[in-house]
Amino acid sequence: MPQGKKYRAAVATYDVESTFEAAAAIAKVKSMASAKFDETVELAVRLGLDPRKADQAVRGTVALPAGTGKNVRVAVFAAGEAAQAAREAGADLVGTDDLAADIEKGNMNFDIAIATPDLMPMVGKLGRALGPRGLMPNPKTGTVTNDVAKAVSEFKGGKVEYRTDRYGNVQVPIGKASFSEADLERNFSAVIEELQRARPSSAKGRYIKKISLSSTMGPGVKVDVNNY
């Protein structure tokens, strides 16, 4: 993708191969976020593991203490009292067969899908639609649960999912460029601490190999990994 003038100007302000302490990297990313919209700040971490091995695939959720700055749209597969509880908790879409039918038509205007365990046989049939978008409910991420109200509240309040890709990378949004440096640091630390907690026992050698931060339209800034 062609790089714009603002991107090139931002790159010219620092050595892209240099590493920074987390606080300095966050400050640099904020200073280079010059788009007309409130850019998302993205954290990317390269982990020293082989995600092709089942016991080294890292996946879960982390609650960002300062939130995401995003209006998260949540869809819930639930019936009866659970459906009512989901609606009261602020779910944007709630249903069973009707919700499944909409998804099969390609209507997926949501960021998170949650389901009660009893409806997973039905939800599982939507794998071809939900799976490629990372929207399939999973017990490991707390999106298959009987307490749908709690799950809705948590994801609306700043809980985000993370998972390794096939190269061992994890990418997590940690807020908006408009956030204070302190809030972005809090969210950054929460994600790093969670990834360290989730380290598979079979992972050998250096676990956190690379860390970088960037805004939606800005260049990446490398974080010194020696402290992690």
The pLDDT of residue 194 is 96
Give tens-digit pLDDT for 77-98.
Answer: 999 999 999 999 999 999 999 9
Higher pLDDT, 209 or 9: 209
Predicted confidence (pLDDT) at residue 2 exceeds the cutoff of 90: no
Give mean pLDDT, residues 119-142.
Answer: 94
Our count of domains for the chain comes to: 2
Residues 184/43, Cβ–Cβ less than 8 Å: no
CATH number, domain of 93, equals 3.40.50.790
CA distance 9 to 1: 16
Please give the DSSP secondary-structure letter assigned to residue 66.
T
How far is 142 from 199, CA to CA, in rounded Å? Answer: 18
* Mean per-residue pLDDT, 10-32: 93
Residue 219 pLDDT more than 50?
yes
The whole-chain average pLDDT of the chain stands at 94
Average pLDDT over residues 119-131: 95
Q: Are residues 178 and 223 in the same domain?
A: yes
Q: What is the band of 117 on the pLDDT scale with cuts at 50, 70, 90?
A: very high
CB 148 within 8 A of CB 86: yes
Last residue of a domain, which of 108, 140, 156? 156
State whether 149 and 192 are in the same domain.
no
Same domain, 213 and 180: yes
Do 199 and 168 share a domain, yes or no? yes
Residues 6+ apart with CB under 8 A from 124: none
Same-domain status, 119 and 152 = yes
- The C-alpha angle 86, 91, 96, rounded to 5 degrees, equals 65
| pLDDT band (50, 70, 90) for residue 1 | very low
Q: What is the mean pLDDT of residues 38-51?
A: 95
- Domain boundary among the residues 118, 134, 156 is at 156
pLDDT at position 113 is: 97
Residue 176 maps to which CATH number?
Answer: 3.30.190.20
Q: How far is CA 86 from CA 58, 66, 81, 101, 190, in A?
A: 28, 23, 9, 19, 27
Q: 186 with 222, same domain?
A: yes
Structural domain range at position 15: 5-67+159-227
Record the pTM: 0.84
Q: What is the pLDDT confidence band of residue 24, given thresholds at 50, 70 and 90?
A: very high
